[in-house]
Amino acid sequence: MILNSKQIVRINRDDFNRVSSLYKFIDVAGRANDQTVDIVMDSLEIEKLKNSGIKYYIVEKKFYKDVYPTTAQVYDSITKLATKYPSLVDVETIGFTYNNRPLVIMKINGKNPDTCLVRYQFLLMANHHAREWQTISTALFFVDSILRAYSTNSTIKKLIDSTYLVVFPMVNPDGYYYSMDQNNELWRKNRTLRNSVYGVDINRNYPGEVNGDIRGEWGAIYNSSTTHYPSSDVYCGPYSGSEREVQSVMNLAKRFSFNISISLHSYSELVLYPWGATSDTALDNTLLSNLATKIASKMLKQTSGTYTPEKSDALYPTSGDSDGWIYGYTKFVKGFTTLPFTFEIDTGFSPPTTTLAQLHRRVFPGILYSAFLCESVYGVPKEVPLKPILSSSGSNIIWNLKNSNKADYYKVQNYDSIYTYKDSLNGSIDSIISTDYKTYRIELSKTTPYSAPYSLRPLKKDTTISSLEFFDRLYVQNITDSLIFYMQYDLETNYDKAFLEYSYDGFFYEPLDTLNGIFTGSSTTWKRYSFPLSRFLNKEITIRLKTVYDDGTINATGLKIDNIYPVPTAKTRTTLFESCTDTFISSTDTLKYFFVTSHHPVLGFTHKSDRYFFKILRSVIKDSLGDIKENKDILIDFSNRILTIKNSSKAKKSLRINIFDVSGRKVFEKNVKVENVEKFDLNFLASGKYYLVILGDKNYKEGILILK
């Protein structure tokens, strides 16, 4: 039994906000009961608390290391279960940690554990936080129990046969090894080493709530529950999704269609559900709340009563947690919602043998009930209409989208003459802010702009997150295209930060540049920045600058940005239909870009399509080439990205091959003489739709190429 140098401090729950205001960040351990909160503190933090006059006492915590498996023994237990039940369990390594430890999942199914072939899917995770040892043994107890019962219990057999269960029993093996094997019992983070500092709190590193609300994005700071300061126990990482453990969980959510996910944490005897960053309720709040109540009723507390269901922000808001990302991503990006819950099990860390055995049996019914829920909740969550994909037939513009039955109507717009420009911010205040940008807590500043009269500045207030984003998505047309701007900043180093991020849909954002697109500290003279966009060639993206300030910000200047290029805009933006209830329109408009935005009856407008220019492209080609006539001597074949042209006549044909993208830009041109067969490798083109025109002596051949 070993005591850690840090200590657990217990305060009254009513004093929590006062305590959190004393520090830039705090490491909450959990709640031993409804009236108190436990916080992990070092000696300096305890001294500060003592001087504040707030009542507290030290929890004399003992760690029963002999009860818990070493890291090697956890891996061994997983292997033994798979060996004992080879027809039910398949073990897969889905990644490796910073210290090269495997990230291992167990896939369980009575029909085919290797490949998911069933409708109902369940995810169980444990040990996001290194010191929460009992979560690993609880997950393994669940697996061992249901596998033992498969041959004798018809109910369990039905569950395993009909449901694909994925169990990730040790999400943070590097952290567990350091905490358990190496006697650093209160260690919370993983063990990634950057700039001589170890670790990220991986349950603060997920890329936000992905619901279109900037307040729930990764890196937002509330009540000292997360920070950008690397030495803190609640450090959220250098950028969203930076950690290998987090990437592995994200890939599972993308790969499988889980109905329910459970993440085991300790401690507080709670069942938590989204959202966790704000007090806003989720679209499925009634369903989540009802399920959490039923699940909680299956698990007995250590003293009396059953677990308590709570929305995740009940004690304090957090950003970057697994539940928020899983729920938001699967609903707003994937279009098939996973209902996620966190179980805060037990009333302390690492209980002794007798208490641990009881804990396993108290929590098991809640996990089992959650797995059974996969069947009953299938198809029940309220889905969201995703991004419309536009095409055309004759004079009709048609759109298809996932979850189209969830849209009550669509907004249809066309833009005249889309172009980009360098924004020197010299227009009127209203036109600058509202026309070409979407802003959250952004203001115009007349103080020493790079070019008069204005620069743009995020509002500099404590615990503020702000966003400056293009109103329209940017289409990257040339491999040499770059994002360019001038910026100066004075940000409290490693507390206040700014990030460049991009998104394909306006919901799921990723870092634009993990090396140079992150700003903190001071650069008080105007400096030019340039970021290549070549990896987005022939794609549409939105770009934003996100700035976060923590509590107690001290730097006066903040951040200013000016002379932004390329800013996408349009000569005119015309709304043709504000509320179209069909999934097509007839139009005779030419030389315009079309956009369709889906509308949800509760959430309002959600996803906007990419630009569509196909109708215009045909007009442009015909205007420049005359009427297109089919040359029956020329045969075209296109497969595996190889364009084959066959000349069936006896005479050699002189041809010019043209390929246009959907914006009308010519991406390929070649003059050839075809005597028999000529082949052209088009692997250099990005995936997408292209328009093919082959010209001969007043004879033309046209067609569509779709590259996937």
Please give the positions annotated as active site: 344
Structure tokens at 224: 């000292």
- Between the CA of residue 649 and those of 637, 644, 669, 676, what are the distances in Å? 16, 16, 23, 8
* Cα separation, 466 vs 287, whole angstroms: 31
123 CB-near residues (< 8 Å, 6+ apart): 166, 167, 168, 252, 253, 256, 258, 260, 261, 262, 338
Beta strand extents in 85-133 (DSSP E only): 89-96, 102-108, 120-126
Nearest to 285 by CA among 306, 265, 309: 309
Mapping DSSP to helix (H, G, I), strand (E, B) and coil, where does residue 372 land? Answer: helix
| φ, ψ for residue 236, nearest 5 deg | -90, 0
| φ, ψ for residue 637, nearest 5 deg | -130, 140
Beta bridge partners of 358: none
Residues, the chain: 708
* Cα separation, 392 vs 584, whole angstroms: 9
Structure tokens at 183: 């006697």
Helical packing angle, 133-149 and 71-84, nearest 10°: 10
CB neighbour burial string for 396-408, b if at least 16 within 10 angstroms, e if fewer: ebbbebbbeebbe
CA 116 to chain centre: 23
